[in-house]
Amino acid sequence: MGRELELPIGFEGRYRWIVFLNSKVDPRVPVLNRYYGVLEDGTVKVRGIELRRHDTPGIVNRCQAGMLGVLGRARNSFEFKALVPEALSVLGSYVEMVRERRVPLEELLIAKNLSKNPDEYSKLVPQAIAAKLLAKEGGRVHAGQRVDFVLTRKKGAIPGELVDGNLVYDWERYRELLISSAESLLLPFGYDRDILGKIVST
């Protein structure tokens, strides 16, 4: 096949099942570089989702991995659909954890690279807020640097270097991140943010 098409073709393995996820540009269209699935040997393979991103907070990684752990037990599409409610209960348990503020602060850290120097940002995105606070405290911050921060209500974002045990994080914003990560997995099956939000609120 590769010789006929004059393209390099590799064999990754035979899948029990695979889900191609929706494009970020056009949610109606699935794309080849965003997927998750299970190989015949039971290995879960993922690409293009939160679990593979360096800026995803630990709590979201754990939730998405937990949901995939449930769905990964499916041997076919019928079993997959039967396991969706259990995967949703995993999401619900993590939303409850952030709501009840039972999450260690280190699992809430989000990492973002600065595209500009702190004083060059016109929009107060979280990484800019955190960078400006860090600079105000005497830290050296510049474009290209990675900034770790926790989302808060009062200031918007607090850099990881200034986080202490008294910090009150914005649980609702982390709830939205958890819901968004579940939507990444389940949107092809009709579970958008609104539906998922209602499910975890009941």
Q: What is the pLDDT of residues 128-177, one digit of tens each?
A: 999 999 999 988 899 999 999 999 998 899 999 999 888 999 999 999 99
Mean pLDDT, the chain, integer: 91
Predicted local distance difference test score (pLDDT) of residue 166: 87
More confident residue, 22 or 133: 133
pLDDT band for position 123 (50/70/90)?
Answer: confident
Across 77-81, 120-124, 125-129, least confident range = 120-124
Predicted local distance difference test score (pLDDT) of residue 27: 72
- Dihedral angle of Cα 69, 74, 80, 84, to the nearest 10 degrees: -30
Complete domains list, the chain, with CATH: 6-103+172-201 (no CATH), 105-168 (3.40.1820.20)
pLDDT band for position 28 (50/70/90)?
Answer: confident
pLDDT at 3 over 90: no
Distance CA 19, CA 87 (A): 15
